[in-house]
Chain A
Amino acid sequence: QKEVEQDPGPLSVPEGAIVSLNCTYSNSAFQYFMWYRQYSRKGPELLMYTYSSGNKEDGRFTAQVDKSSKYISLFIRDSQPSDSATYLCAIAMKTSYDKVIFGPGTSLSVIP
């Protein structure tokens, strides 16, 4: 079983839709969770990060973590064509160093 699994898509939605992006992970030792957005031919850009279960909101973006189910989600409200990108979930655990595991990414297209 892979450490992080994510549906690669592609996911195509109309402008204004609510988008739900999801990841599952296998190791309950993971302690912090991140979402990155990557536009084509660009570096990953940090969107949100959280250490705890529950919801964290930032503008149109909401990150949700359920540690009991080992499930993380990113919701995008009122999606815009500029949201079209690949979204990567990332998880990490504290050991003697911080090792971050990235999901393979979900490709999202928001159609005007």
Chain B
Amino acid sequence: DTAVSQTPKYLVTQMGNDKSIKCEQNLGHDTMYWYKQDSKKFLKIMFSYNNKELIINETVPNRFSPKSPDKAHLNLHINSLELGDSAVYFCASSPRTSGSLGGPQYFGPGTRLTVL
């Protein structure tokens, strides 16, 4: 059983297109994240949702729009794709109780996005 799953695993698309990546976790966690890992392997947070509420929104172009229909799902929609968007996008989740230290994050397998 995959704890954090992402679809698709690979995504190749033309510049200017709009695409979505989906993430689901079956761990019962409250918090979900999107990270971007660039070609230099640097992992950087983009967004975080806690119980469907956006709690972290880093300096990400507004072409990127996350959406959490419920606490087990977090999707990422990207408009007008650019060459620089090519990267691996990871979804993660963590247990988090309000008012206390959160738990560690568990990652999905990643979506490798290539923009041509």
Residues of A within 8 A of B (CB): 31-32, 34, 36, 38, 41-46, 49, 51, 86, 88, 90, 92, 94, 96-100, 102, 104-105
Contact = CB atoms under 8 A, between A and B. Distances in A.
A99 B41 contact: no
Contacts of B109: 42-43
Contact of A102 (B43, B56, B102): B43
Contacts, number: 59
Contacts of A41: 110, 112
A38 B37 CA distance: 12
Contacts of A42: 109-110
Given A42-B109, A44-B107, A94 B41 contact: no
A104 B56 contact: no
14 contacts: A43-B90, A46-B105, A49-B104, A51-B101, A94-B100, A94-B101, A94-B102, A98-B102, A99-B45, A99-B56, A100-B45, A102-B42, A102-B43, A102-B44
Top 10 A-B pairs ranked by shortest CB distance?
A98-B102, A43-B107, A97-B55, A49-B104, A102-B43, A44-B107, A43-B109, A43-B110, A34-B104, A94-B101
A98 B110 contact: no
Interface string B44-55: 110010100001
A43 B108 contact: yes
Interface string B80-95: 0000000000100010
Contact of B105 (A31, A38, A96, A100): A100
